[in-house]
Amino acid sequence: MSQMTTPADLFVHELQDVYFAERTLTKVLPKLADEVNDEELTEAFRHHLDETRQHVANLEQVFAGLGVSARGAKCPGIEGITEEHDMFMQENDPSDEVRDMFVTGAAARTEHYEIAAYTGLVGMARSLGDRNAQELLEENLKQEKKALEKVESISTRLLKETAKA
Ligand SMILES: [Fe+2]
Ligand SMILES: [Fe+2]
C-alpha cells in the first residue's frame, strides 16, 4: 500500500466514503418509508430519498470537477447503522409504535453521521480553495441538517403521543 501524504488525496477518499454512504441510503430509504406506520415519517423518508438522489448527483459533479471518476469506498460506518436496524427488527419484533420510534432514532444517527462527513468535506474543500466543490457540498450539508430537524420534530411528537396513550 502506498503512503497517502496529501490533503487532496484525503479529500478524494472522504468523498468516496460519503458517496458509498449516500448510494446505500438510496436503497435503504424506500424500505424505511414502507416499513414505518406514521404518515409524516413515511413522507419525510420519501422526501429525503429525492434529496439523497440529488446528493449522489452533487457528489458526482464534485468528482467530475476534480477530474476523478466517481466511485465509492466501502463505508462500514453506514453499514453498521443499517445492520443495527436489521438486527433490532429480527430480535424484537417491535409493535408499530416502538418500530417507528426506533426508526426515528436510527434516522437521526444517520443524519448526524452525514452532517459530520459533510462538515469535514466542506472544510477541506474550502482549505483546498475548491469553490465549486464547496458549494455543492454545502448544499448537501444544509439538507442533512434540515432532515435531522424534521426527524427530531417527528420523534418529539411520537414521544408525546405515547405519553398520552
Ligand atoms: Fe445525504
Ligand atoms: Fe441524509
Read off the pLDDT of residues 86-141 as tens digits, 9 standing for 90 and up: 999 999 999 999 999 999 999 999 999 999 999 999 999 999 999 999 999 999 99
Which ligand has the shortest distance to the CA of 22? 1
Which ligand has the shortest distance to the CA of 53? 1
What is the pLDDT, as a whole number, of residue 110? 97
What is the pLDDT, as a whole number, of residue 116? 98
pLDDT digits (tens, 9 = 90+) for 19-74: 999 999 999 999 999 999 999 999 999 999 999 999 999 999 999 999 999 999 99
How far apart, in whole angstroms, are the C-alpha atoms of residue 10 and residue 8? 5
| This prediction's pTM | 0.94
Judge whether 20 and 52 are in contact, CB under 8 Å: no
- DSSP characters over 134-151: HHHHHHHHHHHHHHHHHH
Which ligand has the shortest distance to the CA of 146? 2
Judge whether 59 and 32 are in contact, CB under 8 Å: no
Residue 164 CA to ligand 1 centre (angstroms): 34
78 has a pLDDT exceeding 80? yes
Count the residues in the chain: 165
Which ligand has the shortest distance to the CA of 45? 2
Domains belonging to the chain, first-starting first, are 7-164 (1.20.1260.10)
Residue 165 CA to ligand 1 centre (angstroms): 34
Burial class (CB in 10 A: 0-12, 13-18, 19+), 118: buried
Residue 77 CA to ligand 1 centre (angstroms): 14
What is the pLDDT, as a whole number, of residue 2? 87
Strand blocks (E) in the chain: none
Joined together, the cell numbers standing for residue 27 give: 436503497
What is the pLDDT, as a whole number, of residue 65? 97
> For the residues 146-150, what does the mean pLDDT come to?
98
163 has a pLDDT exceeding 90? no
Quote the radius of gyration of the chain (alpha carbons, Å).
Answer: 17
User: What single letter denotes the amino acid at residue 110?
Assistant: T
